Structure 1
């Protein structure tokens, strides 16, 4: 009898236990257990700690999905990021074995307190942020939310070494109002993990290369000494090859052409016009540089120094060519030998001689003996030879082409000095401007 009663009692007990377990296998039972089946103002508004002195540690992880744009004029860095925020709620814990092994569930964000974390450098509009409508709750009390965003953030760009520049742009996460004594920020994953994953999933790079993601934690941030902060420093390096091919190499080529123009003969009259054409081509490249660089740059970029140096060198070369042309013109005007008398001069002298003879005939027709035409011409030639010999003995011949010699000396000396100056200028610019690992 007692045996039958014992069996019946065990049957009912096992039935009740199985029914209880079956009923606890639904999310509704778990939500009821966590008091989330209805609106709970306490869980939605109060920081989820049992002791108010306890600090809520919030982990913020950021992955970089794409480098969209770096605007040098507006000083804005546009990227595509994915963020994950994890914290603990002391009131939302359960034993998974009591609910058929349920380890996590999703709850609407409006039902729970979430950290008021924002990005200090953010200049994006709200339409670029895609936040998950649910919070993932784990049995240990950890809560997780995710968001994706097309982030436009302010970034102080240093364009001194453009286009071989490297930029550091900060993305700083910090609470909007929560004091550092109540909330502290840190990262959930390590630096190495975040760098490796970001490098693998980075889809869009543009003209930039992601070098590294450095993470810093600061509980006394500048401007907000009572707010915790996690800073992701994005280190970028520009791909300069396009600017080298389209801008730097043409400038170097024009400077080389200006050097080669010294071998053009000045007598042909093409040297000066060729140099002016080179100067105009450099001016066009300077207009292109104006569109590349911002006007608010404090330090003049090296590419601007390079352009100004090339422009100044070519400009001085043009002035030297003008000076040489001026000296050659002076040579043609002031350093000529006495010219031989032309046929017109001979005829004028002959007519003058006839007039003299005619005057003498009128004065004393008896005494004047008119020479023949042949004798007059012979007399005139003797006078011309005498004048040439007198001019040669006076030193007119050695003065021929005197300014032309000075022009050639100036041109040669300037070419040597110009070549040395251009060589030193290019070597200095290469050592200061080009990074050591550019050709590696």
Structure 2
């Protein structure tokens, strides 16, 4: 008995443990022997497809046309490669169509309204991106198809599209691009399958011929019109470009019969505006600053070596900017960017300014080595262009008439100075008047060894007397302008006040006008006065005077001084003439420099005005406007 009781107790414990361990966790469905109704429905739908086939269109009659509604929701613009002209976008494709093989009665299958099936198990429309530029064989990610009980299907796969986009960079970096994504059936024409616009669920329900931007992630480089109108209903959008429906026509020959088939396509258009902030700081502002520095080249003085160096450095800087532009824009385009044309224009102007600066420097230093400015250049540049650039009176030049008048006035002043010097020399070296006149009132006189001369006359080199004139010509020390009587001794002393020759009140000159001077050895010496009643007194006076030799030496000295004065005056005239010529050439160079400055500024301003477009919006082609719905 005891072993049997013990066995019963162990068996009951094991049964309870089995029951406790076999209870399903809370929330887990209890295991049933009946199959899932959804699985039965899916199996039934797939069996029907296996019986009728997946390849053919899902219609009961081949004459029925399948209508596919297609929509495109733009999620993100990944990149626009201007060099390869490829647009990369992240999109969601929206498909809906009617499938006659995927219908069921909801009451028979537990009121199940929708099921999900892999797209590879049923028929799906072969809508492809016509302008694709992708090396991949598949564009869509795997996504199941939602099937409703009435046979309508909904398929929203994700896709990364690479499409071609013709890039127009004429107004770079303020350009606007219009890109197209064209979708259509690859094999079904319009008699077998038609493609039309997606109808969203929002009220009012209407076909949506626009890109859907409801979940769009804005790009840092490109701005779109749709992101500004994402909250507006598609029937109220005005900025976004309306997409169009077209028919591609193909020529086909079937059974020897030529026919044209039409394939419907939907062309979704997106307008992309570049964000120019980055390029403004990288290209535009440096360009403006370098253009301003180029104008400084014309303001530097021609003799400064920085004039050429600055021009070459600016040229290199513009070349670097051009290389940056070449890296940012495609090399094979129909139109070159306007900013690139502006860069090239500045480089051409800098090159010309360098050549012009060389010419200006040459003109600036030309006056020291060459002749005067030609009359044509003087008339055209100095008189003509100089007035235009307000530099005609900056440097006052003497013309030929003024220069000749200046030379004549200088000559007259020098002649007057020479006359004063000669008069002063003659007054300082001529003999003082004496009473060596034998006879009253100009009677004939007698000199030893010479003989008697006519009254009032003396040969050259002999002592003079009041009222005398010279035999054989004018005396070297005589004043110019004709014969002039010598002053009396008393008048001579009173006028010149020579030291040592003042006639005292008891002087023989004051008592006897015939008193003679025996010897004159120079100014400041005391004269020896004698009574000249004998021939010896006259001879001693003539011998001791010694004025024949010094007068000839003085004449030679005066001639030498005159020659040196003429040489100095000629040299000063030549230096002044060269200075005037040099000043005229420098004025010519400065006028040309100022003229080239205004020419450069005018060219740059006109170029900037010509480069600023009226609008950067490209025209939408006719292929994107006229819809064939």
Indicate the TM-score class for this superposition, using the shorter chain for normalisation: 0.7 to 0.9
Does residue 22 of structure 2 align to residue 27 of structure 1? no
> Does structure 1 conserve the Cα–Cα contact (< 8 Å) formed by 2:80 and 2:88?
yes
Aligned counterpart in structure 1 of residue 152 of structure 2, from 142, 148, 151? 142
Deviation string for 1:264-313 (max 9, x for gaps)?
22233322211221111111111222212222111222122111222222
Structure 2 regions of 5+ residues with no counterpart? Answer: 1-33, 201-205, 226-239, 252-259, 373-555, 618-629
Q: SS in structure 2 opposite 1:51? A: coil
Residue of structure 2 equivalent to 1:324:
360
> Does structure 1 conserve the Cα–Cα contact (< 8 Å) formed by 2:184 and 2:265?
yes
> Does structure 2 conserve the Cα–Cα contact (< 8 Å) formed by 1:54 and 1:182?
yes
Residue of structure 1 equivalent to 2:273:
237
> Does structure 1 conserve the Cα–Cα contact (< 8 Å) formed by 2:198 and 2:207?
no
Looking at secondary structure, tell me which structure has more helix per residue. Answer: 1
Does residue 292 of structure 2 align to residue 256 of structure 1? yes
> Does structure 1 conserve the Cα–Cα contact (< 8 Å) formed by 2:189 and 2:261?
no
Shift of 1:229: 0.8
Residue of structure 1 equivalent to 2:105:
95
Q: RMSD of the TM alignment (CA)?
A: 3.2
Structure 1 residues 195, 185: closer, same or farther in 2, change over 3 A? Answer: closer
Aligned counterpart in structure 2 of residue 396 of structure 1, from 577, 588, 599? 577
Shift of 1:41: 4.5
Q: SS in structure 2 opposite 1:405? A: helix
Q: SS in structure 1 opposite 2:248? A: coil
Deviation string for 1:8-37 (max 9, x for gaps)?
xxxxxxxxxxxxxxx898113433554x24
Deviation string for 1:115-170 (max 9, x for gaps)?
11111112224377343353221112111222212211111111111111111111
> Does structure 1 conserve the Cα–Cα contact (< 8 Å) formed by 2:197 and 2:208?
no
Q: SS in structure 2 opposite 1:333? A: coil
Alpha-carbon distance in structure 1 between the residues aligned to 2:162 and 2:324: 26
> Does structure 2 conserve the Cα–Cα contact (< 8 Å) formed by 1:123 and 1:154?
yes
Deviation string for 1:231-263 (max 9, x for gaps)?
111211111111111101111110111113333
Aligned counterpart in structure 1 of residue 323 of structure 2, from 271, 274, 287? 287
Aligned counterpart in structure 2 of residue 387 of structure 1, from 562, 567, 581? 567
Shift of 1:319: 1.9
Shift of 1:379: 8.9
* Length-normalised TM-score, structure 2: 0.54
Alpha-carbon distance in structure 2 between the residues aligned to 1:38 and 1:49: 13
Aligned length: 375
> Does structure 1 conserve the Cα–Cα contact (< 8 Å) formed by 2:126 and 2:185?
yes
Alpha-carbon distance in structure 2 between the residues aligned to 1:334 and 1:137: 100
* Length-normalised TM-score, structure 1: 0.76
Alpha-carbon distance in structure 2 between the residues aligned to 1:334 and 1:222: 82
Residue of structure 2 equivalent to 1:171:
181
Alpha-carbon distance in structure 2 between the residues aligned to 1:415 and 1:377: 59
Shift of 1:90: 1.7
Structure 1 residues 393, 158: closer, same or farther in 2, change over 3 A? Answer: closer
> Does structure 2 conserve the Cα–Cα contact (< 8 Å) formed by 1:335 and 1:402?
no
Structure 1 residues 187, 281: closer, same or farther in 2, change over 3 A? Answer: same
Structure 1 regions of 5+ residues with no counterpart? Answer: 1-22, 337-375, 436-440
State the structure with more CA Rg: 2
Q: SS in structure 2 opposite 1:209? A: strand
Does residue 350 of structure 2 align to residue 314 of structure 1? yes
Structure 1 residues 61, 381: closer, same or farther in 2, change over 3 A? Answer: farther
